[in-house]
Structure 1
Amino acid sequence: MTAITQQRLRGRPAHPPGQTYLTYTPDGKRLITAGSNNAIRIYTTGSDGEPINVDDCQELNTAVVATNDFFAAGSEDGTVCVYSLGTNMLDKVLVRCTLPVRDVALSPDGDWAAVASDELVVKVVNTRDMSRVLYLREQSKPVKHLAFHPSGSYLAVSCSDGLVYVYSLSTEDPQLVKKVDGLIRSLETDEEASSRIIWHPDGTALAAPTATRGTLYCGKYAAALIWASLDIQMISRVDWERQRAFASGHMGDITALAWSPNGALLASAGMDRKLLLWETKTQKIIARYEYPSIVSLVWHPTENILSFTNSDGELFIYTDFVPSEHLNLLKKPLQSAPFIHQTNVREPPVITADHLQRNVRARRGTPDSLDDILGPDMMQDDEDDFIVDDDGAGYAEGVNGHGKRSNEHLDAPGGLVYKRRAMNDSWRPRFHPSFQPGSTPWRGNRKYLCLNLIGCVWTVDQDTHNTITVEFYDREYHRDFHFTDPYLYDKACINDYGTLFSCPPLNGAPAMIFYRPHETWTSRADWRTKLPVGEDVTSISLSDSYVVVTTSTNYVRVFTLYGMPFRVYRQKSSPTVTCASWRDYVLTMGNGPVGGDGKTRLLYTIENIKRDEICQNEDIVALPEGGEVKSVFFSDNGDPCIYDSTGVLLILLHWRSPGQARWVPLLNTNLLDRLAGGRKEESYWPVAVAQDKFHCIILKGGEKYPYFPRPLLSEFDFRIPLSPEVVSLSEGTDEPSGTEATKLEESFVRNSVTLALLEDLIAATTATHFQRSDLVRKELEFDKILLQLLAIECREGEERGAKALEIVGQMRDRSGKMIEAAGKVANRYGRNLLEEKIRELGEKRLVGMDEE
């Protein structure tokens, strides 16, 4: 139920009757009003004293905006004047127009002022240098309202032709980003009704009074259908699709609206004499007020104050505007804009030892139990702690909130302090959530179902159905396609052979799998299959040989590419998390036993489906504390890779040998040179590992997922995270090996990993000539790196001889040529003893080879 205020504010006569406008300075200390007369008034927040008058201003003002240092006002004579808040006097005429000014907007930093007039062109003027002017020319009619994006990078223009023009101002030549049709009504620039765009404070969406069909009663027996602005519609900045709407609030045209500073609340006023307060998250009205003829309204930047003006020239400053029962909404941090598809999944808390100590015991089994009424969280009595310090002797040093003594004074073995816990205390482990590699959550009405090096799949919610688009990077090899999706597919995989989809159970229909091959030598053989009732798909994967599906019942279902069920088994680790596949190999992940931090350990299994052999059975995924797997995939050479939430890319070494697998870090994106010194704030969306590079999408700022338009792929070379500098202790002094040696040592470790991966591949498969040649080439590069390290050690001095000999011992060359080259390096630097040791090492190696 919405609250109807009983308080009736008295308006302050600010200006003569006529359109009156107002604005706060960003610090909230001053409130500035401008109206139909030639005076502008400056009010001090929290003071009931008379305002400061700035006289000899322009008459018939139509807009006022302010920074902490100055304010600007536009008027019907076509001028925009800037006034100093230090002297309260005219500073300069910022711009002149040939026709009346209708709106003025300031960029968040105050450096640019956008001016809309009855001219067709919008002028964006630099407030410090009036000679710098940007021109927005795409409009076909005059502009009624302007609004800067919170970042200052975009400007939304509400035109009298009924279109919203969104410009990018990131360059000196503004670019039209989007023309939004059907959002606002076509209104003349001097009409009282509003078509103003307001950006949500988080910058992800905008809202405006939208064109709504209403009924105009013309008489007792006749009525006419008209268009009015009764609702407030939200639009996503990402895809410009319609989102949530604030509907059924006003019975007349909306004249003013504004977000609260944190975006949790929305205030709107209309010709129906209503001033409404909406909750943004639910789009529900939480308070109603009655004030006629409101022209402009604005929130105080930090206080619970809403100020507004009307067409009678009155100013209203409404303190305690948000009712006390909803005041917590205004005190929240910046809230996100409400979208149609939002993932507000509340994860269970991490259960730690501290949580267990704080766990409380509910009263059970008594006739007057309050458990069902209050719930276990409210029942905090501890029946074991009953001692009361009634004589002041200090027995109750740790008295709890119920006047009872705690047992915190008791020490556990080893000095640890603990509390006794009842046997019926309950706690919930934290599970790793399931996910589909390469997919993103809904944002607005669209999401990516799959992103990889082959292409991408995305879906668009059309209310009654979805539409699926599949795009390929190589359009000469494959053609893009698009189709209507009545099944609402929510997962997809794509490779060179086909595209796989799955949909959840819907309206009593079971979950379903759909495979569409790209090209076949026969007619295209699409196929669908349904899962048993009550079984939902948690993840899917597609390889050159099989379709793999993991389900909510912990089954792993394997199909051939033409729809024949091949294998079904129940996964040991549960609940299932995800899966990936490559040729005949399938990797599945699931939640395992609970660790000491209350979080389950993630386990993986790799098996060869065709040979029915298990390579790794329920092994632990190596994650740091609190880390999660963000994506899992096979490299182009068929090696399992994961990318975790800490920004580290890892590859699985020796995974074909049971019990020998280990996760090796290939790249820590937090240590990239481009992030040095905090110059950039960005993260990375993993796509693939191919050609010895990490392919990803760069996410700017605080973005967590890629969105539309489709971003470009970036690639980074591997760089195994070693210590930044290796230090050698010699004769009691610290002698750093230097940047050159550090790079070579990283290259040595990295090449040893890639060599091991290639050797495993050649040993497990029928190697091609190219693979064997590649192995010889990599071994040669490996030994060249060691030669360079040897040269550095020889250059440092004779005391480095032991390490230099150790480096030579790492060489893989069996012909003796690289050992001979190492001896020449030692000779060049005059390390005769080292040269002799290297020669002996070479002879021993040759003898050993002969014995083999």
Structure 2
Amino acid sequence: MALQHQIRSRQAHTPGATFLSYTPNGKKLITVGIDNYCRIFTTGSDEEPATIDDCQENNTAIAAGNGFFITGSEDGTVCKYSLENNKLEEVLVRTSLPVRDIALSPDGNWVAVASDELVVKVVNTQDMTKILYLRDQTRSVKHVSFDTSGTYLAVSCTDGRILIYSLSSEQPEMIKQLEGMIKSIDSDAEASSKVLWHPDGRAFGTPTPSRDIQVMSWSDWERQKAFTTGHGGDITSAVWSPNGALLATTASDLSLCLWETKTQKLLKKYDDVRATILSMAWHPTENILSYTNNDGELFIHTDIVPTEHQGLLQLSIQSAPFFHDPTEGTSGNAGAKLANGAKETIPHRPGRRQRTPDSINDILGDLSEDEAMDDFVIDDDGAGYAPNVNGHGKRTNGHLGALASPNGKRRAFGSSFFRPETHEAFQPGSTPWRGNRRYLCLNLTGFVWTVSQETHNTITVEFYDREFHRDFHFTDPFQYDKACLNENGALFSCEPSGDNPAMVYYRPHETWTTRTDWRTNLPAGESVTAIALSDSYIVVTTSANYVRIYTLFGIPWRVYRQKASPAVTCAAWRDYVLTIGNGPVGGDGKCHLLYTIENVKRDEVFQAEDIVALTPNSTLSNVFFSDAGDPYIYDSTGVLLTLLHWRSPGQARWVPLLDTRLLPRLSGGGKEESYWPVAVAQRKFHCIILKGADRYPYFPRPILSEFEFQIPLSSPSDSKNKNKREEFDISDDEEDTTTTKKDDSRTLEHSLILTTTLFTQLSSTLSHTRPTSSQRQKLTELEVSIDRILLQLLGQECMAGEEHGMKALEIVTLMRDANGRMLELAGKVAGRYGREVLGEKIRELAERRLVGLDGGEEE
């Protein structure tokens, strides 16, 4: 008898992301990786695999037919190779951005290509000039998947949407858009959002944000049963067995689980996975599951299904796990309506009774007699033999489990299904690995980047002002993964590895002694979640929810446990420290972010566990202090916000200063770009413009751009104005004049609220600090600017007519001057336009203010 759970491991490729595919007949297994060759393994043979050299590097996907296979790579090339002579046949198609996934239709005639482009291309494998274009995506695509008939294609987008296309006509038609099934992920993330069409063709499953596999029947688009996997990390791969009786899932928690489809019961869990599995494939006929990981390894797991469950593999095609069969209640020639209004014909099954009003099939469905009687249990003694039975002896809907929310997560409080979604920790200014390099820090001082050399890293620190600082680089045996940089020094930290604990390393730029850089270790089992560096202190938040504060020369100064946990990130400026962590769970099942700001030197807390104002479904992208010392955040929706009154406990509020989605450069609609936040300095937002689907800056060194603050007040004028003009027969000259006045008024209103916000920000700062003469002068200039803007608005209202008099008077009441100079000018403006009544009201207001200054009451 063969030994169960035999695993043959092969180092198939250079360490890195590796993918595989079986041919439909199961005779060959092909793998691709980050190196420039493909490996072709013969099933059941221990001989060395055949190798195809001179392929593309950094392959990201593979799909195999019986006589050929197709690969996709990061350089955008999709190649077809022959399995007869093991040579490249042709380049089927190219994309301008990296390929992320490919899928081969069941007949092998079409290959769908997902890339960082917005368009999915479906190319004929026999004639590459025949291409179908799917254009309904608004974000780049992570996965594509054909159904069992090859008629429908599921497209998983990085924004968390699934688009279902019908390919039955010459022009593909998008028939359904699903939201809430999968989560939003980066296109190069290891996590999977791939649609898994069940072999019976009536349903599909997807990994959900709660790390389950949710099944949906696609004839009625209803959510059916779900596999509650309990994985401790994002699902990275999942695959049905060839007959649909089993499901295999694997996740970043380094576990592989085997499930029975009918009951969603866990049959076996393998916890000895050595690296994150990225790709899995069942052998078409044998009890073999093969998989590859992110370390270049191939594992051929024979006898993967335990002996007591091997009979499941011998069954015919099994049904998907339904709460109810979506075809119930329909006759043999009836059909369920699809999204496009067509009907799906459901053929009559041989040997099955036709449905009639009194048919036993309407009562028992397709169950056998024994199965149909399973629920017929009488709990006559109250001993609990019949759970979910009400007082009338009838079965309740408790067997259906908790109701699913629109995003596919179970929300049964008090049950094991509820899992709050926490915000992941991040280091401000750092990017994820891309290839063998990444940025550890990007700010206005310079940038720090690291290159992986397998056994060690090399770190380079470059400055924008090379006259003041000199660039340097060094060999990094500790593999630092976080860094901060300012005018005084550079701060690094690394995660624990083996017996080596986590470590913090500080290196000053200048010294008048022989050596002043220092390192310190964290307690065993504690890792660093984020670090921050100011002119006075070093801040470290850890996995134990400790906030550790050191002086610049390594003296421990504060250690305390953060109330909001798990910790998310931190920032520092001079003596101030801002920490952010996960707080209470909101109504959407996500944790609110809470922030705390304190002055370390004076040991004074200004804001304690206040809420970070984020919109639903958005995340925090960056947090930093400006050059003037004000806190700023930037969220995933592209909005920059500052914190006003943060030195006054209980008075802080988040105010938007820029919404990058409303930038004039995007008004035409032709550009697709996002913005990587870097800093706020000189009252401008400094960032890196990312083109297309890019979400992180990459090499060569990006150029910094800057944008003026522009508080979002209203949308720009659009074609609706033109429609109104035509409806009311307004002349072009009259329309242009009206539009110009509205635009001028909108510009002044924006200037008013922005200047008022900046005045409030600076006024709050000066009331809690020792102001300099230049700061006092700037505050006076802002106050005068507010009155000048109000005076300009007054002129526009006076010009508009007497009917605008009340609004004009309201504008005058907003003026700030105490000596009456601006009120005098306001009266002159009213007189210039002949607004005598308004002028009289302004004089009365001036008199009342004068009385108030002399000790009288001010109304």
Same fold (TM over 0.5): yes
Partner of 2:770: 766
Partner of 2:482: 491
Q: Is the 8 A contact 1:361 1:379 kept in 2?
A: no
Partner of 1:750: 754
Q: How large is the RMSD of aligned CA atoms in angstroms?
A: 5.1
Could you say if the C-alpha distance between residues 289 and 327 of structure 1 is closer, same or farther in structure 2, counting changes exceeding 3 Å? farther
**Which whole-Å CA distance do the structure 2 matches of 1:824 and 1:653 have between them?**
36
Partner of 2:267: 373
Q: Aligned residues, how many?
A: 571
Q: Is the 8 A contact 1:794 1:800 kept in 2?
A: yes
Task: Kindly provide the CA deviation profile for residues 2-34 of structure 1, in whole angstroms up to 9, marking residues without a partner as x.
Answer: 99xxxxxxxxxxxxxxxxxxxxxxxxxxxxxxx
Partner of 2:429: 438
User: Could you tell me which of 58, 62, 73 is aligned with 1:265?
Assistant: 62
**Which whole-Å CA distance do the structure 1 matches of 2:666 and 2:830 have between them?**
39
Could you say if the C-alpha distance between residues 809 and 448 of structure 1 is closer, same or farther in structure 2, counting changes exceeding 3 Å? same
Could you say if the C-alpha distance between residues 531 and 692 of structure 1 is closer, same or farther in structure 2, counting changes exceeding 3 Å? same
1:523 Cα shift?
A: 3.4
Mapping of residues 433-512 of structure 1, within 5 Å: 433-512=424-503
Partner of 1:349: 209
State whether structure 2 residue 644 is matched by structure 1 residue 851. no
1:815 Cα shift?
A: 2.1
Partner of 1:45: none
1:818 Cα shift?
A: 1.3
**Which whole-Å CA distance do the structure 2 matches of 1:452 and 1:372 have between them?**
48
Q: Which runs of 5+ in 1 are unaligned?
A: 4-204, 208-229, 235-242, 282-286, 308-315, 363-368, 383-388, 411-415
Partner of 1:147: none
User: Could you tell me which of 527, 538, 541 is aligned with 1:547?
Assistant: 538
SS at 1:851 equivalent: coil
**Which whole-Å CA distance do the structure 1 matches of 2:637 and 2:431 have between them?**
18
Could you say if the C-alpha distance between residues 344 and 760 of structure 1 is closer, same or farther in structure 2, counting changes exceeding 3 Å? same
**Which whole-Å CA distance do the structure 1 matches of 2:766 and 2:267 have between them?**
67
TM-score (norm 2): 0.58
Partner of 1:822: 826
User: Could you tell me which of 529, 544, 548 is aligned with 1:538?
Assistant: 529
**Which whole-Å CA distance do the structure 1 matches of 2:618 and 2:154 have between them?**
28
SS at 2:267 equivalent: helix
Letter in 2 for 1:801: G
**Which whole-Å CA distance do the structure 2 matches of 1:808 and 1:504 have between them?**
60
Indicate the percent of aligned positions where both proteins have the same amino acid.
52
Partner of 2:285: none
SS at 1:646 equivalent: coil
Mapping of residues 75-114 of structure 1, within 5 Å: none
Q: Which runs of 5+ in 2 are unaligned?
A: 1-5, 9-16, 20-29, 42-47, 75-79, 94-102, 111-124, 129-144, 159-186, 193-206, 216-221, 229-262, 270-319, 325-354, 376-394, 401-405, 721-727
Partner of 1:39: none
**Which whole-Å CA distance do the structure 2 matches of 1:288 and 1:676 have between them?**
45
State whether structure 2 residue 780 is matched by structure 1 residue 776. yes
Could you say if the C-alpha distance between residues 524 and 740 of structure 1 is closer, same or farther in structure 2, counting changes exceeding 3 Å? farther
Task: Kindly provide the CA deviation profile for residues 404-435 of structure 1, in whole angstroms up to 9, marking residues without a partner as x.
Answer: 88759x9xxxxx9xx99696442211111110
User: Could you tell me which of 539, 555, 559 is aligned with 2:550?
Assistant: 559
Mapping of residues 553-702 of structure 1, within 5 Å: 553-702=544-693
**Which whole-Å CA distance do the structure 2 matches of 1:781 and 1:813 have between them?**
11
Higher-Rg member (1/2): 1
Q: Is the 8 A contact 1:682 1:698 kept in 2?
A: yes
Q: Is the 8 A contact 2:39 2:52 kept in 1?
A: no
SS at 2:624 equivalent: strand
Letter in 2 for 1:692: R
Could you say if the C-alpha distance between residues 360 and 233 of structure 1 is closer, same or farther in structure 2, counting changes exceeding 3 Å? closer
State whether structure 2 residue 296 is matched by structure 1 residue 296. no
Q: Is the 8 A contact 1:648 1:668 kept in 2?
A: yes
**Which whole-Å CA distance do the structure 2 matches of 1:429 and 1:719 have between them?**
35
**Which whole-Å CA distance do the structure 2 matches of 1:762 and 1:572 have between them?**
30
**Which whole-Å CA distance do the structure 1 matches of 2:61 and 2:445 have between them?**
41
Could you say if the C-alpha distance between residues 500 and 599 of structure 1 is closer, same or farther in structure 2, counting changes exceeding 3 Å? same
**Which whole-Å CA distance do the structure 2 matches of 1:685 and 1:583 have between them?**
24
Could you say if the C-alpha distance between residues 562 and 380 of structure 1 is closer, same or farther in structure 2, counting changes exceeding 3 Å? farther
**Which whole-Å CA distance do the structure 2 matches of 1:335 and 1:343 have between them?**
12
Q: Is the 8 A contact 1:266 1:280 kept in 2?
A: no
**Which whole-Å CA distance do the structure 2 matches of 1:544 and 1:840 have between them?**
53
Letter in 1 for 2:713: L
Partner of 1:713: 704
State whether structure 2 residue 714 is matched by structure 1 residue 723. yes
**Which whole-Å CA distance do the structure 2 matches of 1:473 and 1:420 have between them?**
50
SS at 1:836 equivalent: helix
Mapping of residues 272-421 of structure 1, within 5 Å: 291-292=84-85, 294=87, 296-297=89-90, 305=108, 343-345=189-191, 349=209, 371-373=265-267
Letter in 1 for 2:828: K
Could you say if the C-alpha distance between residues 361 and 267 of structure 1 is closer, same or farther in structure 2, counting changes exceeding 3 Å? closer
User: Could you tell me which of 833, 837, 851 is aligned with 2:837?
Assistant: 833
1:837 Cα shift?
A: 1.4
**Which whole-Å CA distance do the structure 1 matches of 2:224 and 2:148 have between them?**
30
Letter in 1 for 2:851: V
**Which whole-Å CA distance do the structure 2 matches of 1:263 and 1:361 have between them?**
27
**Which whole-Å CA distance do the structure 1 matches of 2:656 and 2:411 have between them?**
42
Letter in 2 for 1:344: E
SS at 1:846 equivalent: helix
**Which whole-Å CA distance do the structure 1 matches of 2:638 and 2:264 have between them?**
48
**Which whole-Å CA distance do the structure 2 matches of 1:429 and 1:584 have between them?**
34
Partner of 2:792: 788
